[in-house]
Amino acid sequence: MLFNSFEFIFLFLPITVLVYYALAKRGAIELALIFLLAASLYFYGYWNRVYLVLIVASIIINFFLGRKIGLATNKRRKTWLVAGVVLNLGLLGYYKYFNFFISNINAVLDVGWNTEKIILPLAISFFTFQQISYLVDAYNNKCKEYNFLHYSLFVCFFPQLIAGPIVHHKEMLPQFFQKENLSPKLINFAVGISIFALGFFKKTVIADNLSVYVGPTFDTQIQVDLIQAWGASLAYTFQLYFDFSGYSDMAIGCARLFGITLPVNFFSPYKSTSIVEFWRRWHITLSRFLRDYLYIALGGNKKGSFQRYRNLFLTMLLGGLWHGAGWTFVIWGMLHGIYLVINHAWRWLLNMLKWAPTSRLYLSFSWLTTFIAVVFSWVYFRAPSLQRANDIVLAMLGSNGATIPSGIAYRLGELRHTLAEVGVNVGQGSGSLLMGNTIWVLIAAAIALLLPNAAQMFDRQNGVLFEKPGAFSMQNPVLNIIWQPSLKWSVGTACLLAAGILTLGQISEFLYFQF
Just list the catalytic residues: 323
DSSP assignment of 318-334 equals HHHHHH-SSHHHHHHHH
- The b-or-e profile of 252-261 (16+ CB within 10 A means b, else e) is bbbbbbbbbb
- The b-or-e profile of 131-170 (16+ CB within 10 A means b, else e) is bbbbbbbbbeeebebeeeebbbbbbbbbbbbbbbbbbbbe
One-letter identity of residue 403: T
d(CA 188, CA 171): 18
For the chain, the residue count is 515
Ranges of H-type helices in 397-431 = 406-412, 415-421
Pairing of strands 402-405, 424-427: parallel
d(CA 208, CA 246): 11
d(CA 513, CA 126): 10
d(CA 199, CA 500): 9
Helix (H, G, I), strand (E, B) or coil at 254: helix
d(CA 503, CA 222): 30
DSSP state of 55: H
Helix (H, G, I), strand (E, B) or coil at 426: strand
187 to 176, 190, 443, 461: CA distances (angstroms)? 17, 5, 31, 8
d(CA 98, CA 104): 10
Sign (positive or negative) of CA dihedral 172, 176, 179, 183: positive
**Rg (alpha carbons) of the chain, rounded to whole number:** 24
- Closest among 378, 422, 349, 390 to 511, alpha carbons compared: 378
Neighbours of 450 (CB within 10 A): 11
DSSP state of 486: S
